[in-house]
Structures are given as C-alpha cells and as structure tokens.
Structure 1
Amino acid sequence: MKSELFSWHKEWGRDSDLSDASLVIYFAAPTVIRGHNVSDILRKRYPLARQIGCSSGGEIHDAGVIEESISGVALSFDRAEFKIVSTSVNLGEDHHSSLQQQDWCSLAR
C-alpha cells in the first residue's frame, strides 16, 4: 500500500506522486463544497480513485488546521476491490439517534 497526504486551497501546491491512487478519503470546507465541484478537482489529480468524503469545520493537514480547503489521503493498493455505497440520513428532531446506521463504505479484498 502507498499513501499520499494532500491539501488543496484554491490550487494544488505540488504535483502528485500517486496519480494511480485507487481510493481518496477527504474532508472539505462547506464553502469549498458550495463553490467548487470537489469531485472534479480530485478526479483531475487522482483519475482512477473512488472518492469518499464529507464536510468539515476545519481541515487538518500536517500539524495544523486550515480552512476553506480540501484535505485528505490518497491510497494505492496492490490488490483491492471497492464498493462505495451511500444512503440518505434523516436529521430529525433527535440528530444523534438518526445517525446510528453508518454503513457508508465497504472495502473488500
């Protein structure tokens, strides 16, 4: 397995050493999600990768927290199969009880 930490803030800071990544896990600021197509930004850098991510209140990268960015990790595996699934979450009156089912992604070898 190979991994690469990344951070995007209006542009990429450097070229990727892992363009053949098969999975990208990311956190993005809500302003970035509203103002940009995050999937397209990541697909241009990691064209083969499946993506899973969510919004955040501050993105952790290296030893700090940055804002209005996309931060995450790209992963490349020697052998792996992925199945990405999603579901709608009903945020009713009791937010905590409606988030009990968290079957968002499964990884199979």
Structure 2
Amino acid sequence: MTVSKIRRRVAILPNLSIRQLGDAGRIPIADAATLTEALGGNSGNVAYVDGLVASLAASHMITWSTPPEIVRANADILVVACANQLGDHVDLSGWAARLAAFGLP
C-alpha cells in the first residue's frame, strides 16, 4: 500500500502578543510587566510556540485580527497554540465566533 503525503499549509495562532510589540518596535522600551503580559505570563510559552512552528512546518503565523480570507488563502489547517488557557478557569466562548469565521479545521 502506498501512503500519499499530502502537504497541508498550517497556520499557527500563537496567542501571544509579543509579536505585536516587536512589530511596533516597542520591545526595547517595554517594561517587565508589559513583556510578561505579552508572553502570556510565562516565557516558556515562547518555547512552546517555537516547538509547534518547527514541528508542524507552519507556513503562516496569524493573529486573532488576521482577516479570515487571508487565513483561508494561506492555510488548510489552523493550530491554536494554547496550553495554559485550557481549563475551567478560563471562558473561551469569545473565541468560538472568530474560529468559526476562519472556517478551517
């Protein structure tokens, strides 16, 4: 039996705002509290996201504000990089509409 290798374009939503700080040129002037918040309260999140990017060969990084048509044009699958946000201590219902708008598995 031959196994076909279908290459899927993967988009990762890192769920960290550190990228936005970097894009705005604010990292060098940000205070520790701002940087910690941008890293999701844990610098280990950077390793987690980098590991996903390396493992999944992500072709596109997105944010919650990326227009859905851009996401669909560049990806077949969406991976939301979140670990600490999962649990009954967090209400993720606000994510549902946005994820539905992206329209990807």
- What's the TM-score, normalizing by structure 2? 0.27
User: Would you tell me which structure has more helix in proportion to its own residues?
Assistant: 2
User: Would you tell me which structure has more strand in proportion to its own residues?
Assistant: 1
| Larger RCO (alpha carbons 8 Å, 6+ apart) | 2
